[in-house]
Every structure is written in C-alpha cells, then in structure tokens.
Amino acid sequence: MNLKKLPKHSILVIAIITTWIKTYITYQTSFDMKIENAMQQLILFINPLAFLLFIYGISLFFKTAKVRNRYMITMSIILSIVVYGNVAFYRFFNDFLTLPVLFQTSNFSDLGNSAGSSMYFGDIFYFTDTILLILAVKFLPVAKEATIVKPNLRRTYFVLSFAMLFLNLGLAETERPQLLTRSFDRQLLVKNIGTFNYQLYDIFIQSKSHAQRAFADGSELSDVTNYIKSNQAENNKKTFGVAKKRNVIIISLESTQNFVINNKVNGQEITPFLNKLTKDKDTFYFDNFYHQTGLGKTSDAEFIIENSLFGTGRGAVFFTNSGNTFNSMAEKLDNNGYYTSVLHANNKSFWNRDMMYQALKIKHFYDVDSYHVTDANSANWGLKDIPYMDQSVNIMKKLPQPFYTRMITLSNHFPFTSDPEDQLIKPYTSDDNTVNRYFQTVRYTDEAIKELFKDLKKSGLYDNSIIVMYGDHYGISENHNKAMAQYLGKDSITPFDSAQLQKVPFFIHIPHSGIGKQMHEVAGQMDVRPTILHLLGINTKDDLQLGTDLFSKDHKDFVTFRDGRFVTDKLVYAGEVCYDKKTGQKTDISKCQPYIEQSNKKLDYSDKIINGDLLRFYDDQTGKTKSNNKK
Ligand code: GP9
Ligand code: MN
C-alpha cells in the first residue's frame, strides 16, 4: 500500500473503524452481554457506529488539518476513557456506569484494593484505537492535508449517520419493545443502543429527573396514595406489639446470600451459628427472602429497609436523592421515643452516608472515628467483624434506651480476603479464587455474629432487645457463574438460577418470645420496615411504603427486583422469560404478564415518589397531602 496516496478522508475512517472495532471487541470480551440470537449479535455489532459517525464526523467542519486532528484525538481519548471506565466498573459492580455514580469519586478512592484488583496492565488494549489514531496523525502524510468538504456532501454524510441511528433503534425496538421507556435494566440498553448512546441517554434521564422534582407539586400523590392504600396488609393481632419498647438492632450482613445457610463446603458448615438460629424457638428465619437492591448495593439495602421504597434505577439513591424528604423507620422510631443510630466502621462519606443519614433523621452515626482500628484488627475493607462486634456493643451499652441501631458488617466484602488466623474453614476448590475465598469470609462473619450474641448477653442488653439480620445483596456476581454452577452441582447457571441466587437470609430474633419458626413466604427487603414496626406495636397505615408486614395474612407471595425481574410462589420472571418455579422450565409468558404489569407499576410509583421528592407534600401523621410545600 502506498501510504502517500491514501484517500483524503483516511484519518476519519481510521478513527471511526478503530474505535468501532475496539468497542465491539470490548463488548465481547469484557461484558457479559447474553446474546441469544443472530439479530442481537448484529445489533451489538452496529450499535457503536451511528454515534461514532456523528461524533468523529464533526471534524468535517474544521478547516485546518491541525484542528481537525486535535479534535479527533481528543474525542478518541474521551471515548476510550468512557469505555475503560465502564470496563473497570463492570468488573466490580457487574453493571454499567451512570452519571451519578461518576460523581461518587469519594467512593472510588475508598474502594482501595477492590478497584486495584480490577485493573491490569493488559488494559492498555482499551486505548489501542487512540494510540493508532495518534500514530496515524503523526506518520501518515494524508494527516497533514486539510479535508474541506462541500456542504452537500457533509449533509449526505450526516443524513447517513442518522439513518444508521434509526436503523439501530428500529432493530432494537423489534428485539426489545419499549426499550427506552422502560429502562430499568442497563444491560439491555447497552446491548441494544451501545455504550455511547447509552451514556447520552443517561444524561437525558438525569436531567429529566431533576426537572421532575422541579415540576412536581403534590398533585401526583393521589395516584400513588391510592395504589399504596389499596395494597395495604392488615396487622396480625398475634404478632403486633410483641416486641414493644424493646431495643432494635438491625444488622446488614455484607454480601451474604441465602445459599450458604444450612449448607456445607468440604463437609464443613459455612454458617454454624446462623444454622442453629434457623431452628431456634425465638427466631423467625425467612428462607424465601430476596434482596431488591440496584447499583447502590449496601446503601440501597439500607434505603429499602428504612423507607420500604426502591432505590433509583440509576446510581445510588444515597447520592442522587440525599436532599429528599423521607419518612424513614428511624424517624418513625424517633417519634416513638427511640434513640436512633448507625454503627459502621467505615468513612462517614462512603455511599454519602453522612448526608443521607441526616435526611433519614438518624440521630448519630458512629463511623470509623468511633472505633479503635489498627493494622492488627483490620483486614480487607477495614475493621474485622469480630472486633467490630465487641466495640459496637461497648458503644451500645452507653446508648439511651430504648434504642434503634443499625449495624453494617464488612469482612465478607469482595474480594473476600482474610488473615490466615480468621480462616476457620478450608477454601472451596475451583478455578475461581473469589468463590473459593467467599466461603471462608462468610464463615468468619458467622463467628462474629456468635460473638455479638455473646457480648449482648454479657452486657444485659440481650433480654430487652430484638435482633434483626438481613443479607444486603449478592456477593458472588454472575461473573462467577462457572464456579457457582460447580458448587451447586449444575451444568450452568440459567437466568432462572441467577434470580433464585438473589435470595438473602432474613432473621428476626426475639429473645424469650418462644414464637419463632421457619417462614416460607416469598418476600423482600421492602417488607422489613412494616414487619419490624408492627412487631414494636407501631402502626404504619398512613405510611407511603411498598412492602407489607410478613406476618399479615394479606401479605402476597410476590417480590419485584429493582431490574424488573420478579418471583412469586409459582413463577420466576428473569431475562424476559417466564419460568415455572417448581420445575425451573420456561412457561407461557401470559402467566407472568399480570405480575410484569404490577412490578412495573410498583417500580414506577416508587420512582415517582423519589424523583418528584413527593414525600415533601405528604403528612404522615394524617395521611393527607400538604399543599404548596415547595422548597
Ligand atoms: C462500605 C460497605 C460496602 O461501607 O457498606 O458497601 P458495598 O460495596 O457492599 O455497597
Ligand atoms: Mn454490601
């Protein structure tokens, strides 16, 4: 090839093709896109093109070669950063970046070894297109030539690039109807419209949600309140108030999934203490309980527990809506004479907790500064769970009673590393070290809970408290399906299995009550708030909450996930497929249809409340709308 005689738009063509190919290879190698047919493959292949034609095409307006080249290199760098940012984020969160998350840089500095272990030297690959473009600009003679184009030609070029966009959207619409209007699942979006268009779409959605708050005036509330009131569950007279005036200790069990309960690895129990509790006469153990979190992970779980509403579909609600008005469980308990706090040995700004806890009306946040943390008593993400329990009970002893306190464990956090002396069981054996280690850190947290119970008994707090524990979200993401399939003795993990793996343990321990039993209702984190408040004898009939009391006969066996998947007693809906829960086989979609609609409605109402900040117009004392409370 004669490099001197390259066609005049070669630099533009090189920029487009290299970024296009790199993006496509990235889709194939770095994200799990779940491509099911040739059409989806085609959409995935063409989806970066329209955007790249457009963005690099702007260079056709520049009159000098120098400005044009600079523009293209700058764009290429920005796009490479976007792609790489998504890759690094995906490795950790198994999800794509959204704008609010980008502003959570304070979190990223704390992610420490997690983020570190998500970056490799080979990642230079994600910049190959930029490097090639820079080389082309430097060494190809054609790069020195200005490429002035006639307006007509330019117009044709842009018409073509828009045609490409519409072709892409058209194909996507046939594959996934209502893709853009029901955007609860980022995976589908990126798969269909591409990572660049998705990023633009996200900016659009963010601005829309800001506008939604600005324009909301409370009139939207009547729909929401009607829906919520018609789905309320009657109190159960037997359990209502059984734990009246007791202290409440709620523990978020980091990354603890339900499959570890009453299960073994290498013949050894993974959670011997929790296993005993599942059969304990003072404990309710729920074995069909699911997390409902999204990108906000631990913080989403906290949000759901406090408010019985979903987090937002984009980013962590702890960041996006920490300025909202809420009617949290903490606020409710504060009104009922409780002293409220959170005990968590991490920086107060992580997940924006310091801000959000004010909005949730939590009186005191005992953060890392309230703990004695040394090299010897920390590992992985920080203070180990056993010293954390010991020190937390020391703090609790000084709290005014009755108190409500939420604890958040940390040792069982990805990447699940621990000190040899804390490894109480042998690791699992598979070619996936994350999964292998997971069992050991879960085992350690179980030991920490045993320690907590012991400490509470010693301090005298135990008899007059209730202890509630929930798994916050999955610990083993779908990136580890191979090892999980091996552990569970399955050929592969289907979307049906993945949905079932979102089960997390939920315990309510009421010392000396003697009323405990194993409960099988299909439930979710949303149900914790009403369930606990009712056990304490506090009514929630005027609260705008989406969950129901798990002891009520009106509770429905139906749980919706943040991404629109759902589980009932008979069905599982996942990956756009309706499954029979008993057999795990595909079944007629029409069986799922009514629940799909109900799920969408629930998500929609929850989003309306949060995006419009509607609780600022609601008086939870009277259940009435407050007029004109714009602030
Ligand atoms: C950090 C802890 C972990 O304080 O809550 O958060 P996660 O990464 O699991 O959301
Ligand atoms: Mn967590």
Q: How far is the CA of 301 from the centre of ligand 2 (A)?
A: 8
CA dist., res. 415 & res. 380, Å (int): 8
Is the minimum distance from the CB of 350 to ligand 1 under 6 angstroms? yes
Rg of the Cα atoms in the chain: 26
When pLDDT is cut at 50, 70 and 90, the band that residue 628 belongs to is low
Domain 221-625 top-level CATH class:
alpha beta
Which has the closest alpha carbon to 525: 349, 297, 318?
297
Positive/negative CA dihedral, 382, 383, 388, 392: negative
If one residue of 94, 297, 381, 474 were mutated to test the ligand 1 pocket, choosing by the most ligand atoms within 8 A of its CB, it would be 297
Q: How far is the CA of 254 from the centre of ligand 2 (A)?
A: 5
Residue 203 has pLDDT above 90, yes or no: no
Q: How far is the CA of 415 from the centre of ligand 1 (A)?
A: 12
Is the minimum distance from the CB of 595 to ligand 1 under 6 angstroms? no
> Please, is 62 exposed, middle or buried when counting C-beta atoms within 10 Å of its C-beta (0-12, 13-18, 19+)?
middle
SS3 call for 506: strand
If one residue of 111, 254, 291, 366 were mutated to test the ligand 1 pocket, choosing by the most ligand atoms within 8 A of its CB, it would be 254
Instruction: Kindly report the protein residue whose alpha carbon is nearest to atom 3 of ligand 1.
Output: 298
Strands 247-253 and 403-408: parallel
Neighbours of 53 (CB within 10 A): 20
Q: How far is the CA of 296 from the centre of ligand 2 (A)?
A: 9
Residue 116 has pLDDT above 70, yes or no: no
Which has the closest alpha carbon to 614: 323, 308, 319, 326?
326
Which has the minimum average pLDDT: 244-248, 439-443, 490-494, 627-631?
627-631
Q: What does the pLDDT average to over 177-199?
A: 80
When pLDDT is cut at 50, 70 and 90, the band that residue 616 belongs to is very high
Q: What does the pLDDT average to over 200-215?
A: 82
Q: How far is the CA of 300 from the centre of ligand 2 (A)?
A: 9
Residue 50 has pLDDT above 70, yes or no: yes
Is the minimum distance from the CB of 413 to ligand 1 under 6 angstroms? yes
Q: How far is the CA of 117 from the centre of ligand 1 (A)?
A: 16
pLDDT digits (tens, 9 = 90+) for 372-419: 999 999 999 999 999 999 999 999 999 999 999 999 999 999 999 999
pLDDT digits (tens, 9 = 90+) for 71-113: 999 999 999 999 998 998 888 777 788 776 666 555 555 554 5
Can you tell me which atom of ligand 1 is nearest the CA of 472?
9
Q: Kindly report the average pLDDT of the chain as a whole number.
A: 92
Is the minimum distance from the CB of 345 to ligand 1 under 6 angstroms? no
**For residue 216, what is the DSSP state?**
-
Is the minimum distance from the CB of 408 to ligand 1 under 6 angstroms? yes
Q: What does the pLDDT average to over 510-531?
A: 98
Give me the phi and psi of 606, to 5 degrees please. Answer: -60, -45
Is the minimum distance from the CB of 298 to ligand 1 under 6 angstroms? yes
Q: Phi-psi region for residue 447, left (φ > 0), alpha (ψ -120 to 50) or beta?
A: alpha
Instruction: Kindly report the protein residue whose alpha carbon is nearest to atom 5 of ligand 1.
Output: 298
Q: Would you state the pLDDT for residue 112?
A: 47
Q: Would you state the pLDDT for residue 210?
A: 81
Q: Would you state the pLDDT for residue 60?
A: 94
Is the minimum distance from the CB of 353 to ligand 1 under 6 angstroms? no
Is the minimum distance from the CB of 346 to ligand 1 under 6 angstroms? yes
The domain spans of the chain are: 3-213, 221-625
Name the more confident of 349 and 603.
Answer: 603
Q: How far is the CA of 12 from the centre of ligand 2 (A)?
A: 45
Which has the minimum average pLDDT: 66-80, 207-221, 297-311, 507-521?
207-221
CA dist., res. 471 & res. 449, Å (int): 13
Catalytic amino acids?
298
Can you tell me which atom of ligand 1 is nearest the CA of 298?
10
Strands 247-253 and 465-471: parallel
Which has the closest alpha carbon to 471: 412, 416, 541?
412
Helix, strand, coil share of the chain (percent; to 5): 50, 10, 40
If one residue of 472, 474, 477 were mutated to test the ligand 1 pocket, choosing by the most ligand atoms within 8 A of its CB, it would be 472
SS3 call for 151: helix
Q: Would you state the pLDDT for residue 514?
A: 98
Residue 33 has pLDDT above 90, yes or no: no
Can you tell me which atom of ligand 1 is nearest the CA of 350?
4
339: tokens are: 């002293």
pLDDT above 70 covers what percent of the chain? Answer: 95
Residue 171 has pLDDT above 80, yes or no: yes
Instruction: Kindly report the protein residue whose alpha carbon is nearest to atom 9 of ligand 1.
Output: 298
Which has the closest alpha carbon to 316: 344, 285, 338, 295?
295
Name the more confident of 251 and 351.
Answer: 251
Residue 484 near residue 493 (C-beta atoms within 8 A): yes
Q: Which ligand is nearest to the CA of 295?
A: 1
Instruction: Kindly report the protein residue whose alpha carbon is nearest to atom 6 of ligand 1.
Output: 298
